[in-house]
Structure 1
């Protein structure tokens, strides 16, 4: 299990539980369970989350790569199924005891691959012998792909927050003191790194489904931008006149992105990006892309 980040407080179990619910809804199977692959050492995953089970036989079960159905899926990085687990010849049977205690017969196991590494395994199961069709397995795989997207976004958000914490002034980081906070438009590789992380974080915000977590990350991005133009503990600036999407667009434009680049990063149409950019210019009294970025930095809306 990974260490919790105070700015990104959700753990791996929260992600797995969401993946299990997606799998249950998509497949109609009555039982689902799964867990994350433990970092470091030989590949091994531990079943930590259960849905629809009637016993605790599977909870805490450590699955070694290659062992049983899930271990084989972990080792191969491929979704696998068995229609009658106790007598299946395609898998080893180290875990027959816990599986029998829960009364499971037909099982599908889906590896969750992030950055070419298996990070988790999701299982779906039923308590009678049943031929698991291709459509059902495809729905289980879709649940795995959705979890892959969530984990990828979470990793990117954590990476951006780490950059902001180590390089930014004020409430987010600690390497600069309040009296050395740069003026708007400050240059240097450190601040370019901060701005890149800020833009990535703002782009991720719209893809995060949890509203509480999205609000927390949004607040971090806003504190970073405001810290550039006022010392730590100073009074807050005026309310942000820009909409969240206008701020997202400007964060990308400030990095030199074209409208097409911004559209690709934020999942928007280029025409929509132009509309947000024109609106931001109007609100900040700017007439060019450079002017609106400078105005946004002076107003504490961008780092």
Structure 2
């Protein structure tokens, strides 16, 4: 999946939420172009012109460039007359009729990945409540990007790699040992716990599909996992709970990760054990792995 495609859905959803939670009528934003220090405005929401579309904002320039360079939110009451920013982008901002503007950087693992903007067509101060709501939206985008990054890294780890001196023919093996497979299992559990926190239904579905690929990845003889001819079907939440249990989590810890009460976790676990024909938590995890439900 291309980087621009990965970010577009998150930005589009974030702009709608930003307008809804802040009350600002206009929002726009984008991600940093691959390998650069420039943000390309990918998505617009509430605009009346296309003046801002595909605008490239460089680090340090304008309000968004200032937020990009400082890695923190910035705002101005009257964009065109502000003495606190440079004015390379006045023309498109004026064409859209924007006055009060805020810019919030999207920061993932200490690296700025993009910028979200919210704006008014009047020169009014943007209070702390408005800025805080915009920051909260940016944090959700950051979490979504982290999950996407993790999913892509895990999927890359399952791609076949030739052994030393071997080609990539039909007989090529996958050089993944027990330790590496345990890392895949641990990461799978983390992803399953993160999925329920994602608000975008399309992104949730994509991440669940990625988890499914990891659970059935064609790695050589992973410990305790042999796919049955008649696999058992579990509810998504039952798989979530088993993924946490497989990582050694108690019911209370699993509940914290999944946003559930310990009693609810226990109920899902009992249901999964019954479907799997297991008498203990460990037996349930082993049975789920043999059924290809867990890596």
Answer yes or no: is 1:15 the counterpart of 2:32: no
Measure how far apart 1:213 and its partner are. Answer: 4.0
Structure 2 matches for 1:127-206, cutoff 5 A? 127-166=121-160, 188-206=178-196
Secondary structure of residue in 1 paired with 2:140: helix
Structure 2 matches for 1:101-140, cutoff 5 A? 101-140=95-134
Instruction: State how far apart, in whole Å, the 2-side matches of 1:63 and 1:46 are.
Output: 6
Secondary structure of residue in 1 paired with 2:27: strand
| Contact 1:31–1:51 (CA under 8 A) maintained in structure 2 | yes
* Other-structure match for 2:272: 280
* Other-structure match for 2:292: 300
| Contact 1:160–1:201 (CA under 8 A) maintained in structure 2 | no
* Other-structure match for 1:171: none
Pairs aligned (count)? 284
CA-to-aligned-CA distance 1:226-255 (integer Å, 9 cap, x gap) = 5669x9xxx984353422222122223223
CA-to-aligned-CA distance 1:242-301 (integer Å, 9 cap, x gap) = 222221222232233343443343333333333322332233222222222222223333
Give the gaps of 5 or more residues in structure 1: 168-174
Measure how far apart 1:18 and its partner are. Answer: 1.0
Measure how far apart 1:58 and its partner are. Answer: 1.4
Instruction: State how far apart, in whole Å, the 1-side matches of 2:43 and 2:90 are.
Output: 19
Instruction: State how far apart, in whole Å, the 2-side matches of 1:108 and 1:220 are.
Output: 35
Q: CA RMSD in A?
A: 3.3
Q: What TM-score do you get using the length of structure 2 for normalisation?
A: 0.82
* Other-structure match for 2:164: none
Structure 2 matches for 1:11-160, cutoff 5 A? 11-41=6-36, 43-160=37-154
* Other-structure match for 1:170: none
Give the gaps of 5 or more residues in structure 2: 162-167, 222-226
Secondary structure of residue in 2 paired with 1:110: strand
Secondary structure of residue in 2 paired with 1:55: coil
